[in-house]
């Protein structure tokens, strides 16, 4: 029996897909898992220019289309790339893992205190929060997949450093030689909703495939991502929004959700909420509504 697993073609996406494929094989020993590599419009943008996807879903839409057209049975995404509301015919069958959700400041070895040069990031969220720490920072978009961006930061002296997700760096084995990273506190640099988590997407009516992949699902990760995506959907943000949301299950079992957005004066606004895990979606809605009221 075969399972077709769809993925983007970047080194990071392939690494993520192989990890999930290995987990599926381990839990379903008689199942063969074949990778189906899809090139997305987001990949094309980052390959040919400094412009990056403007909306959540640009990296995921080609994979979702492949699923709906039966070109694959499952698709592996970075959870942060998935829109808060997906097509009715699709469902996330599993959130199998979440690694370090924090953002990272990446810089040439020994130069963390240096001034001058560009700060490389396309993310309005990262620009908003980083400007608190470095009000005079000059931002530039930096193109390419994560390994290419690290190469560029090392090779081109006009970059002071770049801002990336810790998860991508870690999944590729750490920063390249000659670079160091500083992991940024989530209370200040609030991560993107779903950052660090993987999502395995299936067709809603494909019960056989859902049965295979649901063994991978981590309930705690699903709960946290649900709260974060609920905040995103209620607020109405996409990749172009200066918005972060991150949740954790506390030692006492409650769910703590923190969020950060740009206020009407262009400054960071942060708030948090805590409640039962069973109310993850409601907590996201409530926090967004409370922050809108100021």
Q: Which domains does the chain have, with CATH numbers?
A: 103-183 (3.40.190.10)
Tell me whether strands 32-38 and 2-8 are parallel, antiparallel or unpaired. parallel
Query: pLDDT at residue 57 above 80?
Result: no
Tens of pLDDT, residue by residue over 191-244, are 999 999 999 999 999 999 999 999 999 999 999 999 999 999 999 876 567 999
Tens of pLDDT, residue by residue over 126-150, are 999 999 999 999 999 988 889 999 9
Tens of pLDDT, residue by residue over 167-185, are 999 999 999 999 999 999 9
Answer yes or no: 239 catalytic.
Answer: yes
Answer yes or no: 81 catalytic.
Answer: yes
Q: Determine if residue 180 is left, alpha or beta; phi over 0 gives left, psi from -120 to 50 gives alpha, anything else beta.
A: beta
What local confidence, expressed as pLDDT, does residue 51 receive? 39
Q: How far apart are the first and last CA of the chain?
A: 55
Q: What does the alpha-carbon distance between residue 3 and residue 94 come to, in Å, rounded to a whole number?
A: 15
pTM given for the model: 0.91
Answer yes or no: 170 catalytic.
Answer: no
Report the SS3 class of residue 34. strand
Check: CB of residue 71 under 8 Å from CB of residue 36: yes
Evaluated on CA atoms 273, 192, 40, 52, the torsion sign reads positive
Given 8, 45, 80, 171, which residue is catalytic? 80
What local confidence, expressed as pLDDT, does residue 92 receive? 97
What local confidence, expressed as pLDDT, does residue 209 receive? 95
Given 81, 222, 258, 262, which residue is catalytic? 81
User: What's the rounded mean pLDDT across residues 97-102?
Assistant: 98
Answer yes or no: 143 catalytic.
Answer: yes
> Alpha helices of the chain — where are they, by DSSP H?
11-27, 41-48, 61-68, 124-133, 146-155, 166-171, 207-213, 219-235, 280-293
Given 8, 45, 108, 126, which residue is catalytic? 126
Check: CB of residue 167 under 8 Å from CB of residue 100: yes
Answer yes or no: 286 catalytic.
Answer: no
Check: CB of residue 273 under 8 Å from CB of residue 287: yes
Residues 6+ apart with CB under 8 A from 145: 10, 11, 12, 43, 46
Closest among 86, 60, 65 to 233, alpha carbons compared: 86
Given 45, 108, 125, 222, which residue is catalytic? 125
Report the SS3 class of residue 106. strand
Given 65, 143, 148, 152, which residue is catalytic? 143
Counting DSSP H helices and E strands in the chain, the numbers are 9, 13
Q: What does the alpha-carbon distance between residue 46 and residue 66 come to, in Å, rounded to a whole number?
A: 21
Type and span of the H or E element at 125: helix 124-133
Q: What would the two tokens of residue 44 be? A: 């094309």
Q: What does the alpha-carbon distance between residue 259 and residue 276 come to, in Å, rounded to a whole number?
A: 17
Given 102, 149, 229, 258, which residue is catalytic? 149
């Amino acid at each position: 029996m075969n399972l077709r697993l769809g993925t983007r073609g970047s080194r990071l996406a392939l690494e993520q897909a192989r990890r999930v494929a290995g987990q599926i094989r381990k839990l379903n020993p008689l199942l063969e898992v074949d990778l189906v590599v899809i090139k997305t419009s987001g990949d094309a943008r980052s390959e040919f220019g400094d412009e990056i996807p403007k909306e959540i879903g640009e990296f995921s839409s080609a994979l979702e289309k492949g699923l709906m057209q039966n070109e694959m049975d499952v698709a592996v995404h970075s959870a942060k790339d998935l829109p808060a509301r997906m097509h009715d015919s699709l469902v996330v069958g599993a959130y199998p893992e979440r690694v370090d959700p924090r953002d990272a400041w990446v810089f040439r070895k020994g130069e963390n205190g240096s001034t001058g040069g560009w700060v490389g990031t396309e993310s309005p969220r990262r620009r908003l929060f980083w400007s608190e720490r470095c009000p005079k920072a000059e931002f530039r978009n930096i193109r390419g997949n994560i390994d290419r961006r690290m190469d560029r930061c090392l090779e081109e002296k006009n970059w002071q450093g770049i801002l990336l997700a810790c998860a991508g760096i870690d999944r590729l084995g750490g920063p390249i030689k000659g670079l160091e990273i500083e992991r940024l506190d989530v209370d200040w640099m609030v991560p993107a909703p779903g950052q660090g988590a993987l999502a395995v997407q299936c067709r809603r009516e494909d019960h056989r495939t859902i049965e295979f992949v649901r063994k991978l699902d981590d309930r705690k990760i699903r709960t946290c991502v649900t709260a974060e995506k609920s905040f995103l959907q209620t607020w109405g943000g996409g990749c172009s929004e200066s918005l972060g949301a991150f949740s954790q299950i506390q030692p006492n079992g409650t769910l703590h959700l923190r969020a950060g957005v740009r206020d009407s004066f262009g400054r960071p606004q942060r708030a948090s909420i805590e409640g039962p895990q069973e109310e993850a979606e409601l907590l996201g809605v409530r926090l967004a509504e409370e922050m809108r009221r100021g």
